[in-house]
Structure 1
Amino acid sequence: MSHAIAPTADHVTLGIDVAKDSLEVHLHPQGLAQRFTNDRQGHARLIAWITPYQPTRIVFEATGAYHRGLEMALGQAALPAVKLNPLQARRFAEATGKRVKTDPVDAAMLARFGALLQPDIPPARDPTVDQLAELLAARRALVKDRTAALNRAKTLTLALLKRQSQQHLKQIDTQIQAIDRQRTTILAAHDRLKARFDILVSIPGLGAATGLALLIDMPELGSMDAKQAASLAGLAPVTRQSGTWQGKSFIQGGRANLRQAIDMPALVAIRFNPPLKAKYQALRQAGKPAKLAIVAIMRKLVIIANALLRDHRTWTPDVA
């Protein structure tokens, strides 16, 4: 660890490499490095350490469940936290020629990213959103467990193991139902979030789980134009062109959890949302591969959600 020096009036950026049990931090331009535990006590010590420096940005990568407690703590302390997509950070490291990958090096790289590129600082998260995010993460984990349990059940032959498997699946379903009830209770007490949620689930094909995912994973919806919304979700086609050569467009980056959440609703919308069903069929008839057509429907769902939230209205066929 470096020895602390007096805070300066210069712009200060903090990079944080988030691991399961630890936070490796780097202060730019001072070059200070510290390590904190990734728990409530560690978050409190980190905040106490960084606050006197009045940081311009605190940059960290999205790391599944590991960053969530840190994000909540920074938000409650009203500190300027910026959560990066890991792909952004990796591309920046490659562009700067950083081949060594260690936690301290990654923290320094994130601090430099924030200082040089100055990514936008999102508005502070509502504590209710943090509660819903925790429920969403738990629900996703349970759904994953249920899928694994169902796959294992197909290979079981012993009666004892079959009974245990059924009991386990029943327990998972009970826990998911409890989470859904808690989600409903929390939303009912928050008028703004409840209104946004109701708008999202009014779109044919979007159920409660997907509505919650959009609410949590993409809080910017309703404040962007269509291209920005599609790009943020990682559903905007990326053009590849050099001189007279032009390659196939593809999607990349964005928020992977969100894309996964929209995948199944897009398939449902193709069947039960007449305007989107017609759009899908038109793409297929034009010779577009099924996968590309499905991505187009996923992109359209995000764009529709953005437009409805912007206009504060529920779905009608004319917006599809």
Structure 2
Amino acid sequence: MAEIFAGIDVSKQRLDVAVRGRETRGWSVKYDEAGVQSLVQELSELAPTLVVLEASGGFETRMVAALAAAGVPLVVINPRQARDFARATGELAKTDEIDARILALFADKIRPEVRPLRSEETRELDALMTRRRQLVEIRTGERNRLHQASPVVRIGIEEHIAWLDARIGEVDAELQQRIKSSSVWREKDRLLRSAPGVGPSVSVSLLARVPELGALNRQQVSKLVGVAPLNRDSGTMRGQRRIWGGRSDVR
């Protein structure tokens, strides 16, 4: 029996789907609870070998969680991978329908390894880290404005900075409480912070955004994060090794 591969292009309001194998077709559903459930049911009945989605700024999270809960094998890939693959096939046009078809083809031809998805607890940890980064960025902006603020607005800026300090402190406390509540996270946090230069913020960032720690070797992790110098050689030319790609927010 021919295998089935599917690709799902996720946008804010719509899911575009393409399948290839025993049958080749495409369709779209509204990205709401009913649309997600109908798509999960249809894909479960098709029993695909693999479903591929691309990271879409978090929009894909609900769809991914629903598919994973139904036991559908899936992989979320970097958008760069999908675009580079599309160009390699000669597909230069870009629409949601084309993207879904390319993702299905990617699933069929590349067959990326299915890895365990992040748990709900890890996703929540990541959400808290994202919020902390946002608050720190806002605070940095306010501190920069404070240097040249006129007296009439200076007090307001100082009060806002104090409020931000308090909120950041609350988020930090919540993060540490979540780490302490998990024996697995506690041990990983202890190991990470035993390295020189690794403090609470770096440790929590790694736990939240690199959940693969402990399952991959150091070479794989360095490539995943984007800190491994990569070759750029051709013939007798030996290019300079540079780091690129990977999870830039962690790097």
TM-score higher than 0.5 here? yes
* Distance in 1 of aligned mates of 2:38 and 2:95: 23
- Report what 2:27 is aligned to: 33
**1:241 alignment counterpart:** 233
What stretches of structure 1 of length at least 5 have no aligned partner?
1-8, 260-320
What does residue 180 of structure 1 align with? 172
CA contact (8 A) 1:234 1:253 kept: yes
| Matched residue type, 1:225 | N
Q: Does structure 2 retain, via aligned residues, the 8 Å contact 1:17–1:25?
A: yes
Per-residue deviation, residues 187-237 of structure 1 (Å, max 9, x unmatched): 232211222122212222112222122112222222323322211111112
1:200 paired to 2:192: yes
Distance in 2 (CA, whole Å) between partners of 1:117 and 1:239 is 22
The total of aligned residue pairs comes to 249
Flag structure 2 segments of 5+ consecutive residues without an equivalent. none
Q: Which digits, 9 at most, give the CA deviation of each residue in 1:87-109, with x for residues without a partner?
A: 21221111111111112211211
Partner of 2:49: 56
Taking structure 1 as the reference length, what is the TM-score of the superposition? 0.70
- Following superposition, the deviation at residue 40 of structure 1 comes to 4.9
Structure-2 separation of matches of 1:25 and 1:74: 13
Contact 1:240–1:247 at 8 Å: present in 2 too? Answer: yes
The CA distance in 1 between the partners of 2:214 and 2:249, in whole Å, is: 19
Residue 206 to residue 247, structure 1, CA distance change in 2 (3 Å)? same
Q: Is the 8 A contact 2:14 2:28 kept in 1?
A: no
1:152-167 aligned at under 5 Å gives the runs 152-159=145-152, 161-167=153-159
Counterpart in the other structure of 2:91: 98
Deviation at 1:41, TM superposition (A): 5.1
* 2:50/2:75 contact within 8 Å kept: yes
Structure 2 CA distance, aligned partners of 1:11 and 1:148?
53
Whether the 8 Å contact between 1:135 and 1:179 is mirrored in structure 2 is: yes
- Tell me, in whole angstroms, the C-alpha distance in 2 between the residues paired with 1:113 and 1:244: 32
1:228 to 215, 220, 228: 220
Q: TM-score, normalised by structure 2?
A: 0.87
User: Structure 1 vs Structure 2: percent identity of aligned residues?
Assistant: 33
Asked if the contact 2:44–2:70 (Cα under 8 Å) also holds between the matched residues in 1, the reply is no
**Secondary structure at 1:55 match in 2:** coil
In structure 1, the residue matched to 2:127 is 134
SS in 2 for 1:59: strand
- The structure-2 alpha-carbon separation of the partners of 1:205 and 1:43, relative to structure 1 and needing over 3 Å to count, comes to farther
Q: Which has the higher helix share?
A: 1
Partners of 1:64 and 1:18 lie apart in 2 by: 10
Map of 1:253-292 to 2, 5 A cutoff?
253-259=245-251
**Structure 2 partner of 1:314:** none
